Amino acid sequence: MTASSQPFGTRLARAIEERGRFCVGIDPHAALLQEWGLGDDVASLERFALTVVEAVAPVVGVVKPQSAFYERFGSRGIAVLERVVAESRAAGALVLMDAKRGDIGSTSQAYADAYLDPSSPLASDALTASPFLGFGSLDPMLDACRRHGAGLFVLALTSNKEGPEVQHARTAARTVAATVLDHLRAANAGALPVGSFGAVVGATIGATEEDLDINGPLLMPGFGAQGGTTADLERILGAAARWALPSSSREVLRAGPDVTALRDAALRGTEAVQGLGA
> Is-contact 84 53, C-beta < 8 A?
yes
**Cα separation, 25 vs 165, whole angstroms:** 26
Question: Residue 129 forms beta bridges with which residues?
Answer: 101, 154
Q: Reply yes or no on whether 64 is catalytic.
A: no
Q: Determine which one of 19, 83, 100, 254 is catalytic.
A: 100
> Is-contact 198 152, C-beta < 8 A?
yes
Q: Is 134 left (phi over 0), alpha (psi -120 to 50) or beta?
A: left
Which residues are part of the catalytic machinery? 100
